[in-house]
Amino acid sequence: MTEAIVTIDHLRVTFGKGADTVTAVKDVSFSIAPGETVCVVGESGSGKSVTSLSLMRLVEFGGGSIVDGRLTLMRKDGPIDLAQADTTTMRSIRGRDIGMIFQEPMTSLNPVFTIERQLTDGLRLHLGLTGSAARARALQLLRDVRIPEPERRLKQYPHELSGGMRQRVVIAIAMACEPRLLIADEPTTALDVTIQAEILALINRLKREKGMAVMFITHDMAVVAQIADRVVVMYRGDVVEEGPVAEIFANPKAEYTKALLAAVPRLGEMQGKAAPEPLRLVGQKFVPKSLPPAAQPEPLLEVKNLTTYFPVRGGPLRRHTANVHAVEDVSFTLNKGETLSLVGESGCGKSSCGRSILRLVEPTSGSVMLDRKDVLACNPRDLRHLRRDMQMIFQDPFASLNPYMRLMAQVAEPLRNFGLATGSDLIDRVAALFDRVDLPRSYMRRFPHELSGGQRQRIAIARALAVNPKLIIADEAVSALDVSVQAQVLNLMMELQADLGLSFLFISHDMAVVERVSHHVAVMYLGRIVEIGPRAAIFENPQHAYTKTLMLAVPIADPNTRKLDSDLSFKPIPSPMHDRSYRPTPSTYDTVAPGHLVLRD
Amino acid sequence: MRGFLTAKGLIGAGIVMLVLAIALLAPLVIPDRMATAMDMRARLSGPSLSHIFGTDQLGRDLFFRVMLGAQTSVLIAGSAVLMSIVIGLPLGIVSGYYGGVIDNVLMRLVDTLLSFPALLLALTISAVLGPNLTNTIIAIGIAFTPFLARIIRGEALRVAQMPYVEAARAAGTTDFMMIVRHILPNIMPAIIVQGTISLAFAILAEAGLSFLGLGTQPPDASWGLMIQASRDYLDVAPWTALVPGAAVAITVLGLNMFGDVLRDVLDPRTAT
Amino acid sequence: MAYLINRLMSVVLTLFLISIITFAVTNILPGDVAMMIMGTQSNPEALAGLRESLGLNDPLIMQYGRWIGGILTGDWGTSLVFKEPIGPLIAQKVTASALIVVMSMTIALVCAIPLGVWAAVHRDRWQDSTASTVALIGVSLPDFFWGIMLILLFARGLGWLPSSGFVHPVDDFQLAIRHAFLPSLALGLGLMAHLTRMTRATMTGILGQEFIRVARAKGLSEGTVVWRYGLANAIGPVMTVAGLQVGYLFGSIIVVESLFNYTGMGWLTYQALLNRDIPLIQGSVFVIAAVVMLANLAVDLLYTLIDPRIRLA
């Protein structure tokens, strides 16, 4: 092995003082060689970001301090210990020897400065470039990161660029002085899957062309499989395992790595299976049963031509000037005891569709039949009663529970609303619901802030189950959870379906999760369903161009199936906002196979 | 709750409790004549052992007058803030929770009212109604209402958009129960914080009104009134202004400190 | 352009509402202008005659129409106390107040922004607690308390500055500033404390943002990061708050101007209120509310120049 660019040696980082001291990184050692991508992977609280911030000595700005260890960086004039370096030295290293990109492209750029200014101030500082030379270099950088119309971009402000383009600019800034090490801290977590694929391919290409080393921080094993040469697995401030990527995936040694990998759904692993199947988690007492496919499908929810527009108002009198076409002529059927997934990227209308069905937003037109009852036609009183049959689980487990209400009261609320139980009967039923979602009864007296994210999501499920609904709409219900917790919640949902015959409308952006849980899948794009059909048909025989794009973009948690060889560039999604006079064409479909429909463009 | 155990929290809470105790107890403990007894030989005498804060232009003991003035100032400020919350709460909740046309009309009105400086509005109302204790409360109460309505509306709007409100609606919760169970408890911290800060402003407003002769009228005693009376004697007896002025300043400081700490503890989103 | 037209229409609507509120507030009064003019002991018949001739028996809506018509055509009526036409009277006093409002705002901003930034940079350390404590004490002291202290110190004690009166800047600029200085300081100190707290809060938020980390990761010095990257983002929100404080200032001038015998709008309004000079109260209150509203409009427009995100919206 060649001499490492960076060697982290027994790093220890703490936050706070005295009795409040928290050790974020306990004892971390690993090194990064030139031209190598090292992925540091772990769930929240593992200390992976703190490790990367320590290398830049940015951790001090967040109140942390490096209390022990050496951070050796090889510079042209020899090695230097970053843990001991003074402020001036660190400033000459940041942006020059080490570049860094961050998670949030929307806030990574200064909103009041032009792109040119933000690109060139590093060049001025480290390379002494000024005026036209700096400008020319900035243009070249924008070309390197494949931003269209680079001349125009220079004069623009961050808000005029899309999220993906902003992340390209942030990468250009980090690459400006050709650093020998690029630190990328969850750079694609906030991005849609197609943009993520583009950015991963870009980082991979830049690494090859410039021969720099990359330290890539992520929680996503699929991304690790796609981009890493070597992997460092972190857990609660310690390195639990380190090794080449193929080795880690094929033959994990640490218990934690095994558990983590078992919890990750892998795109394609459901091939040839008839029905959804719970994940086999490490340390699980029982072997989860496979769900048998329904013998005779019986429709529960029938949605026809559902359309939801959001009015855009402008002017001093707040006149209705335009519409956001959130849901456009959507039709589908969900059978009893089955799961239909709505999958798509942000802004495709999948959430609005779910909320329209519940009438949490009022649809513009169309019909929704739940068990032969017309949801859209009923008056507010009937609607309230109809809602007993359909419940919802939301994305953010922190925001979907009232912080000032005991968990018992929150789970009991639907029962009280409909007068279904009182007194000790109410308490018994709530206790039974806690048992059902595997939460100890002692939690009934607690408040939401005393629970973890996964536990809160269980409460949300218990609340949804309280009134024995037939349909549960789960809107990105597991996306905010760490992967191991996500697997547990997914398994719980599948178990409930098998036991209670529930139907799920599962709204998600995660193709691998969708493949795992669904009977049927509908792919949404710009408010419409572009392709719908049985899960196997969609994943094994995608027909619509957009479905194929999604399949191509989804990272697979298997280092033998790499997709990042060439630069990727997908068509950006157009705006769903139209003038009031705009009349969209109706959705018409071609039937590829029984039940497998593809939108005619 | 740990936020209260800081120097700021302890001092703030200490001052607030002390002022409240004085306002409640002083009228019971201190005989009226101690504050009204005129000692013409000791007019405008400086702080001494017999009059620790000195005396005013009529030879009345400033210590006792300040103690008794607390009651009026606290009564006016408390009632005025209570009044503005009682009016502003329903307006703000209706506006923020239901939105739509009601919200547009109400908030346009509130925004316009906010163009009138609160002190000017209070002075005008007080002058027009005729200055006395009750009308001072009404004047300050009305002048503060638009501000509180605006804050409450913003909070109600924020809470109404939270997923737990949507979840409750999906669970069949009626509008009334939604407001009682979900909206009110979640906007309460903000109201408590704003109420405390408004109390500080109301003490200042009462002092300002009375200082200008358009607030409390004699024989009611308030701190603002004492400062007004001192204006002609600033040169010879500055303590006649400084003593009640310091009473106002310390009370307001205590309320502001208490409000800051309350905000840190109850409402971390808007912590300064 | 569309934005400007929208704003302009909104301004007209708000001015209309301001006039209605002004008129309504001054008409809840028991007693009326006729009584003010003739006194309470006057002959009831003469009083009734005057009421008739002044149109006070007309429905309120007609009285309002007449009043707003006068405002629009430049006939603002005559002050009962000063026996002068109200229009020119107010115009003259507004300039006097503008001088101290601008001076106090300048004093406040010049001190508050560096102090607030300094506190935010040294968050939770002694610099921060010192600045925050001083600011907290500052916002807690009433304006007239500042005023009295300043009079005692600079006018009575040191004798450096006059404590009373107004001199027009055109007559003697230096003397005008000397007269305006103490009232401006009395107004400005509380404001400064408030803006320091605001600046600190805003900067604390901004310094926690990702683009600040990106700027540091580039190797920029802390000075550049804080004073260029950070402050460029804070200046908009701080200016907005400063704009909102114009309303607070126009309330405080009533107290401060009467304390310093500084004959501006605040003093004029106070005289009108003390003497229940209804036409003058209406005129003054209307003008102050309109000025406050326009000041906020000006800040909003200024914001669109500072922040590119709003420029295009």
Domains of chain A: 6-262 (3.40.50.300), 299-382+508-571+586-601 (3.40.50.300)
Who's near A76: CB < 8 A, 6+ residues apart? none
Which residue from B112, B129, B249 is facing C21, i.e. has the nearest CB? Answer: B112
Long-range contact set of residues A308-316: C-beta below 8 Å, sequence gap at least 24: A308/A349, A308/A352, A308/A353, A308/A356, A308/A361, A308/A362, A308/A363, A308/A364, A309/A364, A310/A352, A310/A361, A312/A577, A315/C2, A315/C6, A316/C6, A316/C9, A316/C10, A316/C13
- Mutate one of B115, B233, B243, B264 to test the C interface: name it (highest C CB count within 10 A): B115
The string of pLDDT tens digits covering residues A456-488 is: 999 999 999 999 899 999 999 888 888 888 998
Chains near C (3 or more Cβ pairs under 8 Å): A, B
Cβ of C217 and A95 within 8 Å? yes
For A74, list phi and psi in degrees, rounded to 5: -85, 115
The string of pLDDT tens digits covering residues A163-174 is: 888 988 999 999
Size of interface A-C (CB pairs under 8 A): 82
Cβ of A396 and B163 within 8 Å? yes
pLDDT band at C313 (very low <50, low <70, confident <90, very high): very low
Share of chain B above pLDDT 70, in %: 87
CB-based contact (8 Å) between B131 and chain C? no
Taking a C-beta distance cutoff of 8 angstroms, is the pair B209, B136 a contact? yes
CB-based contact (8 Å) between A342 and chain B? no
- A194-214: average pLDDT: 89
Q: Give the angle subtended at the CA of A44 by the CAs of A41 and A49, to the nearest 5°.
A: 60
pLDDT band at C35 (very low <50, low <70, confident <90, very high): low
**pLDDT score of B50 more than 80:** no
pLDDT band at A315 (very low <50, low <70, confident <90, very high): low
Mean pLDDT is lowest, of A221-225, A403-407, C137-141, for C137-141
**pLDDT score of C7 more than 90:** no
CB-based contact (8 Å) between B105 and chain A? no
- C299-303: average pLDDT: 83
**Which residues 164-223 in chain B show a CB within 8 A of chain A?**
164, 166-174, 177, 181-182, 185-186, 188
Which residue from C142, C269, C293 is facing B208, i.e. has the nearest CB? Answer: C142
Cβ of C309 and A108 within 8 Å? no
**pLDDT score of B271 more than 60:** no
The shortest C-alpha distance from B271 to chain A (Å) reads: 18
- Mutate one of B158, B165, B166, B183 to test the A interface: name it (highest A CB count within 10 A): B166
Judging contacts by C-beta atoms under 8 Å, the chain B residues touching residue A419 are none
**pLDDT score of B272 more than 60:** no
Which residue from A360, A392, A413 is facing B173, i.e. has the nearest CB? Answer: A413
**pLDDT score of C8 more than 70:** yes
Q: Where are the domains of chain B?
A: 2-26+62-270
**pLDDT score of C162 more than 70:** yes
Give the closest residue to A73 by CA, choosing from A83, A87, A64.
Answer: A83
pLDDT band at A543 (very low <50, low <70, confident <90, very high): very high
Q: Which residue has the higher pLDDT, A59 or B41?
A: A59
**pLDDT score of A90 more than 70:** yes
Give the closest residue to A178 by CA, choosing from A150, A144, A225.
Answer: A144
Cβ of A384 and B172 within 8 Å? yes
CB-based contact (8 Å) between A404 and chain B? yes
Q: What is the mean pLDDT of chain A?
A: 88
CB-based contact (8 Å) between C4 and chain A? no
Query: Which tokens sit at A387?
Result: 């809602």
Cβ of A103 and C210 within 8 Å? yes
Q: Tell me: ipTM over 0.90.
A: no
Give the closest residue to C242 by CA, choosing from C175, C290, C171, C296.
Answer: C296
**pLDDT score of A157 more than 80:** yes
Which residue from A385, A395, A399 is facing B164, i.e. has the nearest CB? Answer: A399
Taking a C-beta distance cutoff of 8 angstroms, is the pair A82, A90 a contact? yes
CB-based contact (8 Å) between C251 and chain B? yes
The string of pLDDT tens digits covering residues A367-424 is: 999 988 999 998 888 888 888 899 999 888 888 899 889 999 999 999 999 888 888 9
Mean pLDDT is lowest, of A16-20, A192-196, B10-14, for A16-20
Given the DSSP bridges, would you call strands A213-218 and A37-41 parallel, antiparallel or unpaired? Answer: parallel
With b for 16 or more beta-carbon neighbours within 10 A and e for fewer, the A533-543 pattern comes to bbbbbbbeebb
Size of interface A-B (CB pairs under 8 A): 64
The shortest C-alpha distance from B169 to chain C (Å) reads: 34
Cβ of B172 and A401 within 8 Å? no
User: Quick one: pLDDT at residue B2?
Assistant: 55
Query: Which residue intervals of B99-117 are DSSP H helices?
Result: 100-114
Architecture of domain B2-26+62-270: Orthogonal Bundle (1.10)
Residue of A nearest to B101 (CA): A318
Mean pLDDT is lowest, of A223-237, A264-278, B26-40, for B26-40
With b for 16 or more beta-carbon neighbours within 10 A and e for fewer, the C109-138 pattern comes to bebbbebbbbbbbebeeeebeebbeebbbb
Q: What is the mean pLDDT of chain B?
A: 84
**pLDDT score of C110 more than 90:** yes
- C37-65: average pLDDT: 73
Residue of B nearest to A390 (CA): B170
Size of interface B-C (CB pairs under 8 A): 133
Give the closest residue to B239 by CA, choosing from B22, B19, B43.
Answer: B43
Give the closest residue to B105 by CA, choosing from B139, B141, B149.
Answer: B149
Q: Strand pairing partners for A41?
A: A218, A233
The shortest C-alpha distance from B243 to chain C (Å) reads: 11
Distance CA A457, CA A407 (A): 12
User: Quick one: pLDDT at residue C312?
Assistant: 46
Distance CA A99, CA A169 (A): 13
**pLDDT score of B270 more than 50:** no
Cβ of A94 and C216 within 8 Å? yes
CB-based contact (8 Å) between C142 and chain B? yes
Residue of C nearest to B118 (CA): C251
User: Quick one: pLDDT at residue C39?
Assistant: 63
Q: Cα A377 to the chain's mean position, in Å?
A: 36
Is residue C83 classed as helix, strand or coil in its secondary structure? coil
Check residue A304 and give left, alpha or beta (phi > 0: left; psi -120 to 50: alpha).
Answer: beta
Cβ of A316 and C6 within 8 Å? yes
Share of chain B above pLDDT 90, in %: 29
